Amino acid sequence: MYCSSHILKEGPGTPLVFLHGFLGKSEDWEGVISHLTHCPCIGVDLPGHGLSSFHETFDFSPPAPRFHLIGYSMGGRLAMQYALRFAERIDRLLLIGAHPGLKTEKEKKERLQSDAKWADLLLHLSIDEFLHRWYDQPLFYGFKPDLSMRRKQNKSELVKSFLHYSLGNQLSCHLEKAIHIVGEKDLKFRALYPNAIVVPNAGHAVHLENPKALANIIKENIL
């Protein structure tokens, strides 16, 4: 089953495919895309998000024989797994705050336990209360995205996706040719990727916090 995809911008050349993070939708990339030149941009709703129902295998209909793949956080992790399966389809791979995978079984177990607690909160709290707690995590450094779009998500579908695609279930994945992007304030991921391109005035959610700077990186490294 393919995930739902949306044309965010039309144009000539190799398509750019964008994968959002947990709780997001394809529309999260509109700020970045508004700063790009005339090029084809496709947004994919991850399983359990937006118009995509949950399914255990992440896949989408390729927009062309080869394309550039750009993923953020959970979307970045799924982009890595996709690139391992379909390397022949990917021209350039750009990853934003995407964890390469936990190293030990202890770390994976602890992550699964933590994610189970978050999943329980998502199911039993109001969506507003859950979003408040989620974005209050140190990872986001006080950044608050537009929550109106996130309130429209299906909570039960989100939970399925969150647990199935948990970092605790992810295989370790290091792709040498990937371009890694981290926010200046995202100390956790700067430590994971000391050689990554650093986006100023941004934490973990680079594409939402400084979309123009990210668009410039895309222009310099892909377009």
DSSP 8-state class, residue 167: G
Q: What is the pTM of this model?
A: 0.97
Residue-by-residue pLDDT tens, the chain, 223 positions: 899 999 999 999 999 999 999 999 999 999 999 999 889 999 999 999 999 999 999 999 999 999 999 999 999 999 999 999 999 999 999 999 999 999 999 999 999 999 999 999 999 999 999 999 999 999 998 888 888 889 989 999 999 999 999 999 998 888 888 999 999 999 999 999 999 999 999 999 999 999 999 999 999 999 8
d(CA 87, CA 70): 14
In this prediction, residue 131 carries a pLDDT of: 94
Side-by-side strand order, sheet with 16-19 = 5-9, 41-44, 16-19, 67-72, 90-96, 179-183, 197-199
Q: How far is CA 207 from CA 46, 71, 202, 215, 218, in A?
A: 16, 10, 9, 8, 11
DSSP code per residue over 107-133: HHHHHHHHHHHHHHHHHHS-HHHHHHH
In this prediction, residue 175 carries a pLDDT of: 86
The CATH superfamily label for domain 5-103+171-221 reads Alpha/Beta hydrolase fold, catalytic domain (3.40.50.1820)
d(CA 130, CA 113): 18
In the chain, what are the domain boundaries?
Answer: 5-103+171-221, 105-159
d(CA 17, CA 67): 7
In this prediction, residue 147 carries a pLDDT of: 87
